[in-house]
Structure 1
C-alpha cells in the first residue's frame, strides 16, 4: 500500500516506536514529515533519478527521511555512523549526492563534504542548515508527481572499499509492490496488526528495507536505539512483537544471559524471528529453536539483491547448517575456472535468472562479480556447496580462505566452534604469515572477562577446537582483545584485524 493511504486510514496508529524512550511517531506524522522533506528536496531542484545521502543514528525521523526520498523517485544512501571522515567523504562523493542530512550527535558528520543542500537534525554546525527549520517551511502534502525511488546502499567494507550497489530505478507509481513485499507476504504473512522489532542500526540494508516494507503493510516498527540482549527481550514482551530480525551474534549474547534472566521475559508473541548477515553456528540455532520454538526463519542474500535463499525451522532441522534453498535466483557452484561442481563440493556460489546489479562507478568490481564463462551469473563472493536436496551450505567468504601448506582452510568452521565456548564473547579466525606453511590459522578472541585472558585460556580454546575439528582447521595461537571490530549489524571487520598481522605483502582482498 501507499504510505499516504495508510495514514488516511489509521492516522493515529504508531508507525514508529523508539524502544528506549517510548517516543511514538504516528502514521499521520510519518506521512506529513516525509511529505514536507520531499517538498523541500523538490524546491531545491532534486528530481527523480537524483541522489541524497544521510548519516543518522536510529533517530525518530530516520524512516521519514528515507520515505521522503522513496516518494520523490530519488536514489538514497543511508551511511553508517561508524565511518571515519575519509570513508564518509568517499561515499558522498561516489554516489553523487545533491543533499546530505546528518545527525548532530554524529561527530563525523560535521566534516562531511560540501554538497548543494546540507541539513542537520538536533542542532547545527557551520555549513549546515537546521533540518527542523527548513522542513517546517514546506507543506505536508504530497508532490504532484510522486513516484517510487530506491535505496543505493554500500557494502559494509569488511573486505575493502565499500561498494555502492545501484539497482534499476523504475519510477513506478507510489504503492507499487516490489520483490521484498512479495517475499515477506509469502513467507511471514505480516499485516496491519503486526509489530516488527528492528534491534540493529537502520542504515543497514535489511533493517531499512524490512522496516519500510512492513510500513507498506500498515505494521508498527519498534526501533531499538542500540542492541542490548536483555532490553531486546523486554521490548518483545512490552510491545507484543510478532516479527523481528536478528544476526547470530545477537542470539549468542541473548543465550549467554543467565537462565533466570531469559526466563523472565515472555516471547510467545513472536510469529517470525528472521536472521541473516552471517552463518549461525548449529548449536546456537538449535538452542534458539528450543527456546523460541519453530519461529526461526533464515535467509541468505546481499545488498546486491541477486538472490534470496531461505529456510524455515523445520527444513533447517532436517538439514542442519543450511541457509536454505533459492526462492530468487538459481544457484550454481563453480570452481575458479567457472566449471560447475557436483553436490557436496565447495566452490564459489553464483546465481542466475535473478535481478542484475552493478557496483556504482566501478566497472572492475562489477566485472569481478560475474562468472568467468559469461553466462550472466553473479556472485556475492561466498564459498559454499549444495546437497543432493538442493539446500545450500555456506563455507566462508572467498577472500577469507586460508592457504596453509597448500591446504584450503575456511575459518568460519573454527569460528563457529569457538563461538559457543562458555568463556568466549566474540571470535575471529584468519590467516597470518608463517615461514613454513605460508599462512597459519590465528584466532583473536574477546573473552567474557579480560581477567581470563592468558596462556591457560589460549591452551583451552585450542584444545576445545581440536576436539571438534581436524587439527589443521584449528588455530595454532590465540590473541585476546577487549572488543573486536564488529559492525553493529553483526558483520565482522576481519580485514582490520588481519591487516595488523600482514604489515607488508598482505593477501589481496576484494
Structure 2
C-alpha cells in the first residue's frame, strides 16, 4: 500500500483523499495510482546526480498526484511557474538538471518547446491526448506495476526557483525546517503523518498556484493523510462554497486572496458557513492592517502569519491573538532562527532600533543558492547569519516589525518579481537608452510593475510598442502594468539607480517606502 494511503486507510479508506471538482479520488482509489506512479518514476533514467523532475502545470488533481508520487519515489520536484515562457522554463530545467517534465493541457506546448531546447526526452501530461511528444499520464501509469514499491529511497526536497541579483531565477532547496530530512521514504511519511495528526483536523484547501512554497506544503500534508481540495483557479465565492461543502480546516493564502474575499457582497459572505476553519496561514507579502482586522472579525482568530522566504522557510510567525496586540508585527523568530539587527556601520543594534534584519541559523546552514556560491556568500555577513533584504526593528518583547525593504524586489499578489530581469528585456529594444523598473501601489495586488524608460535621442518609441515588445519575452505576471517615458532614471557616476527615490512619487506619504 502506498504510504500516503496507509496514513489514512485504516479508518477512512473510502473517504475523499483529493478533489478538484472535476476528478475526485478516495484514499482507496489513490493507493494503486501512487504505486504505479512511484514504480514508473523508479524506472526512469535520471542520469547522474540527484534525480529531479519538474512540474509545469495548473492546479488539478493530477498535479497533486504528480507531486505526491515524487515524494514517494525520492525524486526532487522542481515547481515551475505555469506563467513562464518556454525560454524562461528552459533556463530552470537546465539549471536544475531535471530530466523529466510533467505538464497539463494548458502548458503542454510551452513545456514541449522548453524540454526540446534542453534535451529532455520525457514529457508526461494529463488530458494531453493527441499532442505529439507528450506521453499521456494514463498510459504512463498503465505501463507501470501496481505492486507496492520499495521505501528505502532517500527523501529529496524540492528545488524551488526564486529571483536573483542577476535577474535570473536562482535555485534553492526547501530548507530543513520545512522539509523533514529522514533516512528513507518510510521515515519521511511517518513524520508527515505525525505532523498532520498534531495539527488542525480536517481537509486542507489549495487556493494559490502550487508552484509557490506555501501552497506546496499541502502536498506534504496530503502525504501525511490530510484530505485536499484543489482550486483549479482562484474564485472567491467558490472558496467559500468549498469550505462549507468539505468542512475545510486549513489553508495557506496571501493578502490578495483576503482582499478579494472581502470584496464579495456582504450577503454573499453571510451565505456560507466557515466555522470549520481552524488555521489559515498567510504569507507572501505584508497584509494591510485593516484587511487583516476584517478577516479576523469574519473568520475568527484563525489567521497565522508566516514571514520568511523560499530559501529560508518561515523565520517568524504570529498568531491572530498576538497580532491584535501587536498590529503590524510579523512575530517572533522561530527556532532555530535568532534575530540580529545590524546598523549602517555594522554595529549590533538593540531593542526598538531600526537596522538591517539578519537571522542567525545556529546550524550554520543559513541559506544556499544552487549553482551560485557568490549569491550565497553575499546573503551572509558570517556563516549562518543571513538577510532577506529588509529593514526593521525588534521591540522589547522580541516582536519583529518591518519598516523598509533594502532589496528592489517587487511583491505582487504574493509573487516575487525581480526588476533586473524585466530591465534586461526592455534595454534590448533598439529604441531604449535606459530603463528602471520599480513597484508601485496596486489596490488589488499590493504592488504592480512600472517601467521608467528613457528613449534614445531621435527615436520615436511609444509605450504601446514597448508593451508589445515585452509580451513575447516575459511571463504575464512579470510584464509592466504601466510604462512611463522619462528623461532620466537618475543614474549616478557609478552607474547606480536610487530605486527608493524613483518609487517615492508613486507611494502615499504615510507609507514607508522600501
Question: 1:214, 1:306 → 2: CA distance?
Answer: 16
Indicate whether 1:300 and 2:307 are aligned: yes
On the 8 A contact 2:193/2:224 being kept in 1, the answer is no
User: For residues 29 and 395 of structure 1, what CA distance do their matches in structure 2 show?
Assistant: 50
- Unmatched segments (≥5 aa) in structure 1: 402-410, 420-427, 431-438, 449-478, 480-491
Indicate the residue corresponding to 2:390 in structure 1. Answer: 382
CA positional deviation for 1:49: 2.6
2:110 maps to which residue?
108
Structure 1 segment 57-456 matched on structure 2, within 5 A: 57-106=58-107, 107-113=109-115, 114-123=119-128, 124-144=130-150, 145-155=152-162, 160-166=167-173, 170=181, 172-176=183-187, 189-191=199-201, 194-209=202-217, 211-305=218-312, 307-328=314-335, 329-352=337-360, 353=362, 356-371=366-381, 374-400=382-408, 443=440, 445=442
Query: Alpha carbons of 1:203 and 1:252: their partners in 2 closer, same or farther (altered >3 Å)?
Result: same
Q: Partner residue of 2:19? A: 17
Aligned length: 430
CA deviations 1:45-68 (Å, max 9, x no partner) are 348831111111112111221122
**Aligned equivalents of 1:357, 1:236: Cα separation in 2:** 36
1:40 matched to which residue of 2? Answer: 40
Root mean square deviation of aligned Cα: 3.7
- Cα distance in 1 between the residues matched to 2:323 and 2:78: 34
**Secondary structure, aligned partner of 1:380:** strand
- Per-residue Cα deviation, 1:220-263 (whole angstroms, up to 9, x for no partner): 11111111111111211111111122111111111122211211
Q: Please give the alpha-carbon distance, in whole angstroms, between the structure 2 residues aligned to 1:179 and 1:311.
A: 28
Shift of 1:82: 0.5
The answer to which of 378-387 and 239-248 deviates more is: 378-387
Contact 1:272–1:297 (8 Å) recurs in 2: yes
Deviations 1:170-228 (A, max 9, x none): 56222435999599669x7234xx1111111122111111x123224422111111111
**Residues 330-372 of structure 1: CA distance to partner in whole angstroms, max 9, x if unpaired?**
111223554322222333222112654311111121112112x
User: How far did residue 77 of structure 1 move?
Assistant: 0.4
Query: Distance in 2 between the 1:179 and 1:331 partners?
Result: 32
Contact 2:71 2:155 in 1 (8 A): yes
Q: 1:216 to 1:64 in 2, by over 3 A?
A: closer
Contact preservation (8 Å) 1:195, 1:219: yes
Does the Cα contact within 8 Å between 1:159 and 1:493 map onto a contact in 2? no
Q: Deviations over 1:12-58 (max 9, x none)?
A: 2211121x43x312223333323222212222234883111111111
Using the alignment, how far apart are the partners of 2:341 and 2:78 within structure 1? 32
Q: Contact between 1:348 and 1:383, CA under 8 Å: does it hold in 2?
A: yes
**2:228 aligned counterpart, secondary structure:** strand
CA–CA distance in 1 between the matches of 2:139 and 2:112? 18
TM-score, length of structure 1 as denominator length: 0.75
Looking at structure 2, the residues matched to 278 and 180 of structure 1 have their Cα atoms a distance apart, in angstroms, of 29
Q: Deviations over 1:397-453 (max 9, x none)?
A: 32239xxxxxxxxx99xx9xxx9xxxxxxxx9x9xxxxxxxx9998454689xxxxx
CA contact (8 A) 2:36 2:147 kept: yes
C-alpha separation in 2, matches of 1:205 and 1:11: 29
8 A contact 2:328–2:401 mirrored in 1: yes
State the match for 1:423 in structure 2. none
State the shift of 1:378 in Å.
Answer: 1.8
CA distance in 2, matches of 1:78, 1:29: 25
**1:501 deviation in Å?**
6.5
Shift in CA distance, 443/278, structure 1 to aligned 2, threshold 3 Å: closer
